[in-house]
Chains A and B, each alone.
Chain A
Amino acid sequence: MADLKKVLHVDDDEDIRVIAGMALEAVGSLTVCPCESGPDALQKAPDFQPDLFLLDYMMPGMDGEETAKQLHAISGLESVPVVFMTARVQGDVTRTLLDNGAIGVISKPFDPMTLADQLAAIWEKFQRRSPGQGV
């Protein structure tokens, strides 16, 4: 099973970026590339070569789904799996996101103490289903 090591995280809210970054790095021992928008992610992703995209669903300008689509159009990143983060009011889109290929959806607000465990559980389930994929 491939290990999850590098996460590219996109959220327009600075506090969420900082909290999620700290949670994933301190508790999950992951390397996180924080991005403030879809275009920012498109710039940083090729050099960072993430194992996973963690994307806010609702962002001004380029939203999470469009960001995922454009990230997957980058050579070498086509098969990087996507996990979305959604607020309570967007709960009805969870099923659609999973049906469209996301490997997981994490609800906001999230618990910083367990975020890394949540992501690890999603990754392990994905790896069991598709060994060797997404790396």
Chain B
Amino acid sequence: MSSNATTAIDTLSDSLSSIRVRFMSDLELREQELRSLATGEICDVAREDRHHQARRIAHRLAGVSGTLGFPALGNLAADVDDAIGRALAVPGDAGRTAAADGAVARLAEAIGSVVRSGRDIHGL
């Protein structure tokens, strides 16, 4: 490998490290948001809004987590994105709603684990 290529990869590694630090800091906020979004309410409109908000967070995590070295968290986030999508596709379906709420709660728990350990999740 040429010295230019080595320098480019070192520069990229340094930049990724700083983005990873910011990502970890943001994760704490995402955990709090998801915990507040994981609880149900009676009104269908409020439930859909809550699911849309949670899905935005999950979709973003699914896209970026793996790239920053947290592939298992990214996979879980993609599962949650998918579960919420199924719930939104059939409004009022109690089973799908419960599955989506459970998935959101699991993602919040997983994020908490990553925040506390600094490492990707395993077996959650």
Q: Which residues of A contact B (CB under 8 A)?
A: 13, 15-16, 18-19, 22-23, 26-27, 29, 58, 87-89, 108-113
Contacts and interface: CB of A to CB of B under 8 A. Distances in A.
25 contacts: A13-B63, A15-B19, A15-B67, A16-B63, A16-B64, A18-B19, A19-B19, A19-B67, A22-B11, A22-B12, A22-B16, A26-B9, A26-B12, A26-B15, A27-B5, A27-B9, A88-B74, A88-B78, A89-B62, A89-B81, A108-B62, A108-B67, A109-B65, A109-B66, A109-B71
- When A and B form their complex, which 4 residue pairs have the shortest distance between CB atoms, in order from nearest? A109-B66, A109-B67, A26-B8, A26-B12
Interface of B: 5, 8-9, 11-12, 15-16, 19, 23, 59-60, 62-68, 71, 74-75, 78, 81-82
A109 B9 CA distance: 18
Contacts of A89: 62, 78, 81-82
Looking at chain B's contact residues, the main secondary structure is helix
Contacts, number: 65
Contacts of B5: 27
A108 B68 CA distance: 11
Given A22-B12, A22-B15, A88-B62, A16 B78 contact: no
B8 A15 contact: no
Given A19-B19, A26-B11, A13 B64 contact: yes
A93 to B, nearest CB: 14
B12 A113 contact: yes
Contacts of A15: 19, 23, 64, 67-68
Nearest to B69: A109
B84 to A, nearest CB: 11
Given A15-B19, A89-B81, A112 B12 contact: yes
A112 B67 contact: yes
Contacts of A13: 60, 63-64
Contact of A108 (B9, B15, B16, B66): B66
B67 A113 contact: no
A113 B65 CA distance: 15
